[in-house]
Structure formats: structure tokens, C-alpha cells
Amino acid sequence: MERRPVIVHPPSPTGGRRVSVDGTILGLAYGWRDVVEFLRRAGLDEGAVRPDDPELIEWRGGGPDVWSAAE
């Protein structure tokens, strides 16, 4: 399957981060496992998904270790 742009948006004030693929919001993630599950459901091979892959994931408002607005 061809790679698609994934955006993990900045943490919300109430916690969690929206995850979108090609402009479609997949859900609110509270950790890396949630992101992987959303991408699996979207048809991306979870075995090939890495949090540090800039070709696939754009992290906004903090990297893969930031999940709340307070961090």
C-alpha cells in the first residue's frame, strides 16, 4: 500500500491528540498504541509504522512522547 501523510495534531487542553490521514480525522489518541491502531484501521501496515518516520508522520505540537498540553 502506498504511504499517506499522517498528522498527529497538538495535544488538546483536555488530553489526547487528534490523528488524521489525508485530511480525515481518525480519532483521538492518548498514546502511541492508539496511533498504531488508527493507522491499522486505515489500512496501513502497523509493522511498518514507526513514530520517528518523517516520511509518514508529521508531529505537530510535540513529538511522540508528548500526549497532554501540560507536557
Q: pTM of the entire structure?
A: 0.86
pLDDT tens-digit map of 30-44: 999 999 999 889 888
Q: CA 29, CA 65: separation in Å to the nearest integer? A: 12
Q: Structurally, how many domains does the chain consist of?
A: 1
Q: Is there a domain that residue 44 lies in?
A: yes
Q: Is there a domain that residue 35 lies in?
A: yes
Q: Is there a domain that residue 23 lies in?
A: yes
pLDDT tens-digit map of 44-71: 876 778 888 888 899 999 999 999 887 6
CB-side neighbour CA atoms (13 Å) of 68: 4
Q: CA 58, CA 6: separation in Å to the nearest integer? A: 6
Q: Is there a domain that residue 28 lies in?
A: yes
Q: Is there a domain that residue 41 lies in?
A: yes
Range of 46's domain?
6-59
Q: CA 27, CA 71: separation in Å to the nearest integer? A: 21
